[in-house]
């Protein structure tokens, strides 16, 4: 609109020479800029706050912050470390992803390529509903229903896969309040995010590609393998990373289900371990000022891990840019 | 199209009529209820308004008006809530707000001057007393014992009804030194019971808690040889399973065969979990009841100086008196002995007076807490009367 020539009847023809700026433009530009700056300021303030408190706590830690198992900042001298928490956080998130990504992908492909239209809509809607359940409800369901019902599966895994060490269970009678159960619960919780984003990405795959594959005599599975998955791969990875972010930070569900203890164990069926956010919620209530600083330090590590995961996802997506929807 | 829309409209009108009808009917119903209810509070409020002049009303409360804030221990939350409800019903001009967060936070709030009183599972530490002097001008924060209670040891062992244990076996079980239910040490205390060879699943709190602190104080006091750790809010022993909050521990004990865990008595009653009887050396093993806990607390010694009534429960842990339950905790209200804020002092005093009265303390046993033993309660009332 700024480049069109003004009609001859307009009283101020010199306006046409430069871009027109009205008050609305200035206000909106200011608001947009302000929002952008505000975000940076808030992020910087959070980072500064976390760093100052965390450095204060870590400087007084009499254990090695990275390798100590115990979390006892109230002792004199204070000893605390994140080894168990970092391990538990990463392991439970990996279990969640191993379970959730294939299922989510399956659901997304079923909705887009296999299900009749009448069925696809309702299924997508039900998946959305899963995301609307508060995490404490998942936690209660996990602790009161899932844990008692995991017993059979645990015994089976211990019997047949116990030799892998990972699925060995120290005491077969102990309740299934383990990283494995937490992983399953997290998988259910991240399912809607991964499914929905994957579904959107798969919907973006150009119909021409798929029709071309069909014209070459490909079956439906071959169409998906040759044209849909390569095209949607980077989007599916992004979706998984979004889900992973939630799995890493999940608090209440983990705190309700996991039997936490300062023990680092390779046996994922044993009721031991802990995660960053679970530890924070368990220790925050009765912590004194120093204890809170120590918890903040652990929160900062979670922040860094999430940052690393997101960075890694970006790199993967960059590498596969040739397939991304933007180039189609 | 038009037809459809019309029928839609008709459906709407029918629905609307139905809803208005229901509303009108329910409004009538609730109106009735309201008039029923409003008649009784109006009489009581008139009674209380007459009593604000200095007299007492039917509940024996000398009312004071105003608004006070308080916060702290979740262990006494249910007790405080039921007291606040009764007090506010009797004294319409009073608002008491108790935020159940944690003992630590309650003390922080109190020492920052935001609380009229705080609730705490353990007495003030010396450094906390020191910083309370800034808030209590000319005085300091004092501990007023108020809500006692038994810590019940709940277990899940089908076929075993009257399990008896003592301090030493309990400490060994929770420390992982006794691992099966048919251990000779347990069998010796339960002659005649059919103990299975099931592994013991001991359950403790995952979050830091005053309940854990008090249980480990008991272990340290009654069986020091079998509990090598200091008492602490965080669970120190190795092994066992952890669950969040007392409700989580109770749920885990309930669903796991062979489990044993600790929680306030109300959780055992609510989930119908059997509790362990303690062999204290008395003529018979002692059951976890509120009355028995009161008897246990009676042997506690007051170690606070001046108006401070901090208790030492050491003697309660090792009591051999009949029907005195040894695993007890006492939570405190914390207030200034002198230098309470002038605008909140009357209501604070009046409310504390009510909850320390016989009538207030009697309400405790309904909620699974133990009323203070008479001698301590008398001293508590004197202290509250001297608050300034």
- Chain B residues contacting A, CB < 8 Å? 101-105, 198-199, 201, 206-210, 232-234, 238-244, 248, 251-252, 255-259
Examine the pLDDT at A138 and tell me if it is beyond 90. yes
> Is the preceding omega at residue A117 within 30 degrees of 0, hence cis?
no
Taking an 8 Å cut-off on Cβ atoms, the answer to whether A285 and B101 are in contact is yes
Q: What is the pLDDT of residue B39?
A: 37
Name the closest residue on chain A to residue B241, using Cα atoms.
A259
Interior/surface letters A223-259, b for 16+ CB within 10 angstroms, e for the rest: bbebbbbebbbbbbbbbbbbbbbbbbbbbbbbbbbbb
Q: Rounded CA gap, B171 and B201, in Å? A: 14
Contact status of A259 with chain B (Cβ, < 8 Å): yes
A311 has pLDDT over 90: no
**CATH assignment, A87-323:** 1.10.3720.10
Closest by Cβ to A173, choosing from B101, B199, B243: B199
Per-residue pLDDT tens for A149-197? 998 899 999 899 888 888 888 888 788 889 999 999 999 999 999 999 9
Comparing alpha-carbon positions, the chain B residue that sits nearest to A274 is B206
**What sections of chain A are H helices per DSSP?**
23-59, 83-109, 117-132, 135-141, 147-149, 151-161, 179-204, 207-215, 220-223, 229-249, 252-257, 276-283, 289-319
Contacts of A154 by beta carbon, 8 Å cutoff, 6+ apart: A169, A172, A176, A178, A180, A269
Cβ neighbours of A280 (radius 10 Å): 20
ipTM: 0.71
User: Is the CB of A171 less than 8 angstroms away from the CB of B210?
Assistant: no
**DSSP character for B205?**
E
| DSSP, res A132 | H
Give the DSSP letter of residue B195: -
Query: Is A175 in Cβ contact with B241 (below 8 Å)?
Result: yes
B244 to A261: CB separation less than 8 angstroms, yes or no: no
**Among A120, A101, A126, CA closest to A235:** A101
> For residue A144, which residues of chain B lie inside 8 Å, CB to CB?
251, 255
**Contact across the interface for A171 and B206, Cβ inside 8 Å:** no
pLDDT over 70 percentage in chain A: 92
The pTM for the full model equals: 0.76
- How large is the C-alpha radius of gyration of chain B? 26
Which helix (H) or strand (E) segment holds residue B345: the answer is helix B345-356
* CB A256 within 8 Å of CB A142: yes
Binary contact (B248, A175; C-beta < 8 A):
no
- Which residues does chain A have within 8 Å of residue B238's beta carbon, measured at their own beta carbons? 261, 263
For residue B241, the cross-strand partners are B203
For residue A277, the number of C-alpha atoms closer than 13 Å in the C-beta half-sphere is 22
Residue-level pLDDT at A326: 46
Interchain CB contact of A285 with B (< 8 Å)? yes
Is any Cβ of chain B less than 8 angstroms from the Cβ of A72? yes
Q: At B92, list the tokens.
A: 């319409």
For chain A, give the mean pLDDT.
86
List C-alpha distances in Å: B157 to B163, B194, B199: 9, 10, 11
Q: Do A285 and B252 lie within an 8 Å CB cutoff?
A: no
Rg from Cα positions in chain A: 26
Q: What is the dihedral of CA A178, A183, A184, A190, to 10 degrees?
A: 150
The pLDDT, as a whole number, for residue A111 is 92
Which residues does chain B have within 8 Å of residue A258's beta carbon, measured at their own beta carbons? Answer: 206, 242
Task: Residue A148: list chain B partners with CB under 8 A.
Answer: 255
Q: Higher model confidence: residue A326 or residue A151? A: A151
The verdict on A282 touching B (C-beta cutoff 8 Å) is yes
The string of pLDDT tens digits covering residues A29-48 is: 999 999 999 999 998 998 89
Q: Which of B104, B121, B216, B254 is the best mutation test for A, with the most CBs of A within 10 A?
A: B104
Q: Which strand ranges, in their side-by-side order, compose the sheet holding B328-336?
A: B94-100, B66-72, B117-120, B328-336, B141-155, B259-264, B201-205, B241-243
User: What's the token pair of residue B38?
Assistant: 């409003």
pLDDT at residue number B51: 39
Instruction: Round to whole Å and give the CA distance between A171 and A267.
Output: 11
Residue with tokens 């608001």: A31
Nearest to A175 among B105, B198, B252 (CB): B252
**Nearest of A141, A70, A119, A22 to residue A283 by alpha carbon:** A70
CB pairs under 8 A between A and B: 79
Which of B102, B244, B252 is facing A286, going by the closest CB pair?
Answer: B102
Which residue is it, tokens 């990504």?
Answer: A101
Using DSSP's 3-state secondary structure scheme, residue A244 falls into helix
For residues A257 and B204, the answer to whether their CB atoms sit within 8 Å is no
Residue A71 Cα, gap to closest chain B Cα (Å): 9
- Would the CB atoms of B240 and A173 count as touching at under 8 Å? no
Find the mean pLDDT for residues A97-111.
95
pLDDT tens for residues A220-258?
Answer: 899 999 889 988 988 898 899 889 988 998 888 999 999
Phi, psi of A10 (to 5 degrees): -65, 135
pLDDT at B232: 86
Contact (CB<8Å) A147/B244 = no
Question: Which pLDDT does position B43 carry in this prediction?
Answer: 37
pLDDT score, position B2: 44
* Band of pLDDT at residue A17, cut at 50, 70 and 90: low
Instruction: Name which of B111, B61, B148 is nearest B347 in CA terms.
Output: B61
Interface of A with B in 174-213 (CB under 8 A): 174-175, 177
Over range A258-265, report the average pLDDT: 87
Task: Give the closest of A171, A174, A282 to B207, CB-based.
Answer: A282
Phi first, then psi: what are they for A213, rounded to 5°? -65, -40
Q: Would you say B179 and B192 are in contact if contact means Cβ atoms under 8 Å apart? A: no
pLDDT of residue A119 exceeding 60: yes
Report, as an integer, the average pLDDT of A283-294.
Answer: 84
Q: B201 to chain A: which residues are within 8 Å by CB?
A: 173-175
The larger pLDDT score, comparing residue A19 to residue A203, is at A203
Distance, in angstroms, between A222 CA and closest chain B CA?
Answer: 46
B151-295: CATH class: alpha beta
Test A74 with B232 for CB contact under 8 angstroms: yes
pLDDT mean for each 10 residues of chain B (388 residues): 47 50 43 39 38 54 87 87 90 89 86 90 87 89 92 93 92 92 92 89 89 92 91 86 89 91 91 93 91 91 88 89 92 91 90 90 87 91 90
CB A61, CB A44: distance < 8 Å:
no
Nearest CA among B6, B10, B8, B7 for reference residue B18: B10
CA A104, A107, A111, A114 dihedral sign is positive
Residue with tokens 């608002």: B95
Considering only the top CATH level, what class is B12-148+332-386?
alpha beta
Contacts of A72 in chain B (CB under 8 A): 234
Cβ contact B259:B155 at 8 Å: yes
Contact of A175 with B201, CB cutoff 8 Å: yes
Subunit contact B244:A144, Cβ cutoff 8 A: no
At a CB cut-off of 8 Å and minimum separation 6, what does B369 contact? B76, B78, B79, B147, B148, B149, B265, B266, B290
Q: What pLDDT was estimated at residue A121?
A: 86
* Smallest Cα distance from B101 to chain A, Å: 7
How many CB atoms lie under 10 A from the CB of residue B366?
12
Q: How far, CA to CA in Å, does B150 sit from each of A138, B224, B266?
A: 32, 20, 9
CB A278 within 8 A of CB A181: no
Domain boundaries defined on chain B: 12-148+332-386, 151-295
Instruction: Tell me the DSSP string of A144-170.
Output: IIIHHHTHHHHHHHHHHHGGGSTT--S
Q: Considering only alpha carbons, which residue of chain B is nearest residue A140?
A: B248
**Closest approach of A299 to chain B, Cα-based (Å):** 17
Give bridge partners of residue B301 from the DSSP assignment.
B312
Q: What does the pLDDT read at residue B75?
A: 82
Report how far residue B96's alpha carbon sits from residue A210's, in angstroms, rounded to the nearest whole number: 69
**For residue A14, what pLDDT band results from cuts at 50, 70 and 90?**
low
């Amino acid at each position: 609109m700024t480049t069109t020539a003004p009609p001859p009847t307009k009283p101020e023809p010199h306006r046409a020479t430069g871009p027109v700026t009205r008050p609305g433009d200035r206000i909106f530009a200011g608001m947009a800029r302000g929002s952008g700056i505000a975000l940076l300021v808030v992020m910087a303030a959070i980072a500064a706050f976390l760093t100052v408190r965390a450095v204060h706590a870590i400087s007084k830690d009499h254990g090695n912050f990275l390798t100590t198992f115990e979390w006892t900042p109230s002792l004199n001298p204070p000893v605390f470390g994140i080894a168990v928490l970092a391990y538990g956080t990463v392991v439970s998130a990996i279990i969640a992803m191993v379970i959730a990504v294939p299922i989510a992908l399956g659901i997304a492909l079923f909705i887009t390529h296999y299900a009749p239209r009448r069925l696809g809509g309702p299924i997508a809607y039900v998946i959305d509903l899963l995301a609307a359940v508060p995490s404490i409800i998942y936690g209660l369901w996990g602790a009161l229903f899932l844990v008692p019902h995991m017993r059979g599966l645990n015994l089976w895994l211990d019997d047949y896969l116990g030799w892998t060490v990972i699925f060995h269970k120290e005491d077969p009678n102990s309740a299934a309040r383990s990283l494995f159960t937490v992983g399953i619960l997290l998988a259910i919780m991240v399912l809607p995010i991964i499914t929905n984003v994957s579904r959107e990405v798969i919907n973006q795959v150009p119909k021409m590609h798929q029709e071309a594959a069909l014209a070459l005599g490909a079956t439906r599975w071959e169409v998906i393998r040759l044209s849909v998955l390569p095209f949607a791969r980077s989007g599916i990875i992004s979706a998984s990373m979004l889900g992973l972010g939630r799995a890493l930070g999940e608090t209440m569900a983990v705190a309700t289900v996991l039997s936490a203890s300062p023990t680092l164990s390779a046996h994922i069926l044993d009721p031991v371990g802990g995660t960053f956010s679970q530890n924070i919620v368990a220790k925050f209530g009765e912590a004194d000022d120093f204890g809170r600083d120590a918890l903040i330090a652990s929160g900062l590590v979670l922040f860094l891990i999430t940052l690393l995961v997101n960075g890694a996802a970006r790199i993967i997506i960059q590498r596969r840019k040739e397939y991304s929807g933007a180039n189609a | 199209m038009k037809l459809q829309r019309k029928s839609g409209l008709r459906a709407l009108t029918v629905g609307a009529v139905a809803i208005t009808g229901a509303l009108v009917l329910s409004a009538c119903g609730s109106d009735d209820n309201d008039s029923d209810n409003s008649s009784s509070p109006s009489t009581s409020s008139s009674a209380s308004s007459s009593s604000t002049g200095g007299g007492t009303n039917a509940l024996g409360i000398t009312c004071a008006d105003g608004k006070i804030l308080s916060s702290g221990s979740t262990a006494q939350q249910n007790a405080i809530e039921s007291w606040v409800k009764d007090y506010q019903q009797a004294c319409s001009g009073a608002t008491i707000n108790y935020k159940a967060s944690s003992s630590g936070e309650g003390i922080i709030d109190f020492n920052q001057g935001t609380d009229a009183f705080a609730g705490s599972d353990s007495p003030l530490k010396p450094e906390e007393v020191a910083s309370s002097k800034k808030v209590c001008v000319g005085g300091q924060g004092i501990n007023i014992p108020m809500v006692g209670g038994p810590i019940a040891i709940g277990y899940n062992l089908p076929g075993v009804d009257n399990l008896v244990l003592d301090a030493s076996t309990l400490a060994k079980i929770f420390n992982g030194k006794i691992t099966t239910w048919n251990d000779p040490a347990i069998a010796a205390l339960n002659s005649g019971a059919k103990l299975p060879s099931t592994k013991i699943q001991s359950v403790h709190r995952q979050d830091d808690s005053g309940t854990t602190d008090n249980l480990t104080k008991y272990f340290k006091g009654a069986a020091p040889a079998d509990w090598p750790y200091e008492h602490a809010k965080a669970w120190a022993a190795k092994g066992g399973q952890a669950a969040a909050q007392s409700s989580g521990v109770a749920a885990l004990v309930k669903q796991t065969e062979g489990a044993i865990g600790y929680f306030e008595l109300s959780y055992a009653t609510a989930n119908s979990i059997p509790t362990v009887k303690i062999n204290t050396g008395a003529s018979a093993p002692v059951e976890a009841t509120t009355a028995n806990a009161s008897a246990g607390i009676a042997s506690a010694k007051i170690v606070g100086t001046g108006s401070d009534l901090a208790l030492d429960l050491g003697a309660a842990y090792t009591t051999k008196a009949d029907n005195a339950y040894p695993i007890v905790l006492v939570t405190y209200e914390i207030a200034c002995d002198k230098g309470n804020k002038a605008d909140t002092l009357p209501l604070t005093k009046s409310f504390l007076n009510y909850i320390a009265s016989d009538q207030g303390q009697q309400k405790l046993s309904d909620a699974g807490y133990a009323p203070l033993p008479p001698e301590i309660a008398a001293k508590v009332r004197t202290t509250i009367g001297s608050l300034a």
